[in-house]
Amino acid sequence: MSRFFVKETDIGDSEIVITDSGDLKHMKKVLRLKAGEEVEVSDSAKWEYRAVIEDIGEDSALLRIVDKQAFAREPSVHVTLFQGVPKASKMDEIVQKCTELGVSAIYPVFMDRTVVVEKDGFHKKIARWQKIAAESVKQCRRGKVPEVGDRLSFKEMMPCLKDFDLVLFPYENETGRTIKDALREAQTKAAKPERIAVIIGPEGGFSDSEADALKAVGADCVSLGKTILRTETAGPAALAMIMYELEL
């Protein structure tokens, strides 16, 4: 069943109005939906609906609500990925796979070993990544579209870490402590962490000064296993391990 995302203000007591031109085009030209067919709608906040199409016009579609439920596929743990900006189109894959795995937000971070040169058009990349996240959410039928935030420098990222219950940074030089150790230890000290930050280095990994800075603020240095993962693999792997440990 096709899924659409609207604002809370577009939802009434018994009806939903879709006005986004892209969604309307997709409904009519791609999916060829007609009156009487059912779709799913998310308010991007808490609720998802089953609704029957009443009418699809040029500027809006009118839907009648037949069922309302709280999100069923959103994880209870909120994971933010701070991803060292990789080369080429690797970020596309990272955004897509991490969205499918349940990430709440993704921030591209320029680090010491980032190869990509920051240009004025970087905002266009962020817009593309946000679109990829939205498309991935529809495919995997999540309730919320993860935010792809504006680029950060490593220095700008550091103050953000104080807002999390647990900060993990997978590091190729860590051979003893695993992400499993960190997650299980966090649950024995207190209730299950609700907000987790995962910091992934770019292709060249973290510099020594970056690793030292993260350790100094209490970030948990962990291993993701015996092999060294590519930057585009490390984020999704960490997400999968967190969701397995805390959600399944």
- pTM recorded for the entire structure: 0.91
Q: What per-residue confidence (pLDDT) applies to 38?
A: 96
Residue 47 backbone dihedrals phi, psi, to 5 degrees:
-115, 150
The predicted pLDDT at position 74 comes to: 93
Question: Which pLDDT does position 87 carry in this prediction?
Answer: 93
pLDDT at 189: 76
Distance CA 47, CA 156 (A): 34
Distance between CA atoms of residues 237 and 215, nearest Å: 21
Q: Which long-range contacts (CB under 8 A, 24 or more apart) does 125-129 make?
A: 125/91, 126/150, 126/151, 128/92, 129/91, 129/92, 129/95
How many helices, marked H, and strands, marked E, lie in the chain? 7, 12
Q: What pLDDT is attached to residue 159?
A: 98
Contact 30, 6 (CB under 8 A): no
pLDDT at residue 88 in the model: 87
What is the residue-wise DSSP string for 74-113? Answer: S-SSEEEEEEEPPSTTHHHHHHHHHHHHT-SEEEEEE-TT
Determine the pLDDT at residue 200: 98
pLDDT below 70 — which residues of the chain? none
Which residues fall within 8 angstroms of residue 239, CB to CB, at 6 or more apart?
A: 79, 81, 97, 98, 101, 102, 103, 198
